[in-house]
């Protein structure tokens, strides 16, 4: 199975995201010196590297017609196309997501709980991009549906008449559909799927499920921790979350992987996401 996007469609996707979710670009507070090479590897324990060896499972990026990739590992050499019009970083990140096993977010088996699809507004030839998966083909590791993922289409990106072809159940999320950037939930899902959730730079062997189907969504940018200079002054105590703050359901899952111990995230952001769980840090 592959996901195919042609140049006109790719342009429409990026224009739609820029129009409807342009404010998302303001949220990226930090870009490291190796960006965009580190987009998929930051916060992960797997890595990508160039290989000239003819054997083994690998992804070959080619300049073919359109932007497309197989979904998940198919064995041996598999192609990923970034043709004319596919040069945008967000599109490359999107296609790599497919190669790692991610379906379009709007194709999750539970998508009808979060969006309403208006098929009459979808352009001819685009229906395959919105096929809803089943629980047998799409396991999401109990991770919530995320409207603002790089794997999610915008509301009008393949519209036949300029009208939205999908609307969130909570319409306030309409302007946030889709993103240029990889989300926290997407990275979390891929880490869980490949059983390599990062913790102090080493992989964990813990498993959350016996199912072996492909992943879907994972928003929190990975930030570099700035080294503190040595000083004789007494450090100020970390401000603790206010009483009454409740953890999200996701925190129950993150607790199993020692989320609050992660060195890759600053304490204040861990406490913001899971105030109850990380308050004792």
- What value does the mean pLDDT take over residues 191-217? 51
Most confident of 142-151, 153-162, 199-208: 142-151
Catalytic residues: 95
- What value does the mean pLDDT take over residues 255-278? 73
- What value does the mean pLDDT take over residues 39-62? 76
Residues 6+ apart with CB under 8 A from 91: 5, 10, 13, 14, 67, 82
Residue, of 105 and 220, whose pLDDT is higher: 105
- pLDDT at residue 168 greater than cutoff 90: yes
Q: Is 70 annotated as a binding residue?
A: no
* 161 confidence band (pLDDT: 50, 70, 90): very high
Q: Please state whether the predicted TM-score (pTM) of the whole model is above 0.75.
A: no
- pLDDT at residue 227 greater than cutoff 70: no
Q: Is 98 annotated as a binding residue?
A: yes
Taking only the tens place, the pLDDT of each residue in 113-123 is 999 999 999 99
* 217 confidence band (pLDDT: 50, 70, 90): very low
Percent of the chain whose pLDDT exceeds 90: 31
Predicted pLDDT of residue 194: 86
Strand partners, 70: 2
Strands (E), 43-128: 58-62, 67-70, 77-82, 115-117
Mean pLDDT computed over every residue of the chain: 73
Predicted pLDDT of residue 65: 84
Parts of the chain belonging to CATH 3.40.390.10: 2-186
What own/partner pairs with CB < 8 Å and gap ≥ 24 does 81-89 have? 83/7, 84/7, 85/6, 85/7, 85/8, 85/10, 85/11, 86/5, 86/7, 86/10, 88/10, 88/14, 88/180, 89/36, 89/39, 89/180
Class of domain 2-186: alpha beta
Tell me which DSSP letter residue 145 carries: P
> What Å distances lie between residue 261 and 220, 229, 256, CA to CA?
16, 22, 11
């Amino acid at each position: 199975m592959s996901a195919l996007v042609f140049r006109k469609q790719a342009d429409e996707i990026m224009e739609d995201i820029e129009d409807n979710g342009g404010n998302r670009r303001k949220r990226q507070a930090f870009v490291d010196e190796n960006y965009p090479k580190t987009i998929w590897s930051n916060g992960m324990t797997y890595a990508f590297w160039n290989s000239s060896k003819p054997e083994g499972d690998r992804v070959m990026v080619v300049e073919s017609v359109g932007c497309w990739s197989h979904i998940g590992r198919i064995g041996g050499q598999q192609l990923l196309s970034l043709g004319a019009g596919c040069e945008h970083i967000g599109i490359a990140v999107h296609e790599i997501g497919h190669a790692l096993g991610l379906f379009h977010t709007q194709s999750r088996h539970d998508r009808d709980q979060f969006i309403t699809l208006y098929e009459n507004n979808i352009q001819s030839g685009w229906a395959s991009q919105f096929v809803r998966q089943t629980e047998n083909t799409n396991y999401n590791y109990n991770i919530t549906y995320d409207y603002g993922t790089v794997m999610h289409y915008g509301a009008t990106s393949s519209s036949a008449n300029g009208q939205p072809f999908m609307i969130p159940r909570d319409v306030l999320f309409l302007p946030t559909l889709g993103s240029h950037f990889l989300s926290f939930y997407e990275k979390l899902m891929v880490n869980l799927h490949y059983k390599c959730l990062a913790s102090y730079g080493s992989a964990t062997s813990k498993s959350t499920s016996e199912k072996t189907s492909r992943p879907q969504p994972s928003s929190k940018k990975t930030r570099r921790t700035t080294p503190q200079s040595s000083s004789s002054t007494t450090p100020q105590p970390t401000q603790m979350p206010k009483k009454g703050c409740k953890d999200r359901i996701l925190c129950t899952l993150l607790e199993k992987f020692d989320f609050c111990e992660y060195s890759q995230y600053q304490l204040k952001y861990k406490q913001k996401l899971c105030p109850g769980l990380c308050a004792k840090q």
